Amino acid sequence: WENEDCGVLAVKDFCRYAAALNDADYIHRARAQEEAGEPVAAPALFLAATMSWQDGPAEHELRPDGLASRESPCTRGLPVRQVHGGQSVRLGRTPLAGDRVTARRALTSADLRQGRSGEFVLLGVRTRFTAPDGEDLTVMDETIVVLDGGTAT
């Protein structure tokens, strides 16, 4: 397991996510709750949709598949491409603005397969987003397809 401190959740970040989804109703509701001093809940898939908690890398630092190196588990330095092959999300306690969140990520499986274009690997990755008391906020299981760097899409 690798742990990453995601920091303290903020209404501003919730609203940026909602804006990307064109959810103006959420933005108005969240800002009104914030102004009234009420708790502000994150949008349902906010944690699962956030690929990184750091500033993104400069374009020249991206891998050929467009991903940041840190978003490419188990393949650092290898000439491969990755494609996300599916995601399952289980929602726990609703995260609130002001919550400190930790992402715990682990490789859960690696299966070598044969396809029409050759061999590929299916990686299973689980990410648990937890509150400081260890309570699950969101648990995400992903399948990542790892292809030879020269294989066509």
Centre a 10 Å sphere on the Cβ of residue 144 and count the other Cβ atoms it contains: 23
Confidence (pLDDT) at 1: 85
Is the pTM higher than 0.85?
no
Q: Which long-range contacts (CB under 8 A, 24 or more apart) does 105-109 make?
A: 105/1, 105/2, 105/4, 105/73, 106/1, 106/2, 107/73, 107/74, 108/141
Let me know: does 27 contact 15? Beta carbons within 8 Å. yes
Q: Is the pLDDT of residue 73 over 60?
A: yes
> How much of the chain exceeds pLDDT 90, in percent?
65
Confidence (pLDDT) at 153: 45
> How much of the chain exceeds pLDDT 70, in percent?
84
- Among 42-51, 68-77, 100-109, 129-138, the minimum mean pLDDT is found in 68-77
Return mean pLDDT, the chain.
87
Q: What are phi and psi of 124, to 5 degrees?
A: -105, 130
Give 84-143 as a DSSP string. Answer: EEEEEEEE-SPPBTT-EEEEEEEEEEEEEEEETTEEEEEEEEEEEEE-TT--EEEEEEEE
Confidence (pLDDT) at 152: 46
Q: Is the pLDDT of residue 117 over 90?
A: no
Q: What are phi and psi of 66, to 5 degrees?
A: 90, 0
Centre a 10 Å sphere on the Cβ of residue 9 and count the other Cβ atoms it contains: 21
Confidence (pLDDT) at 71: 63
Confidence (pLDDT) at 151: 47
| pLDDT: which is higher, 82 or 34 | 34
- The mean pLDDT of 68-78, rounded to a whole number, is 68
Cα(6)–Cα(132) distance, integer angstroms: 11
With cut-offs at 50, 70 and 90, classify the pLDDT of residue 63. low
Element (H, E) at 6: strand 2-8
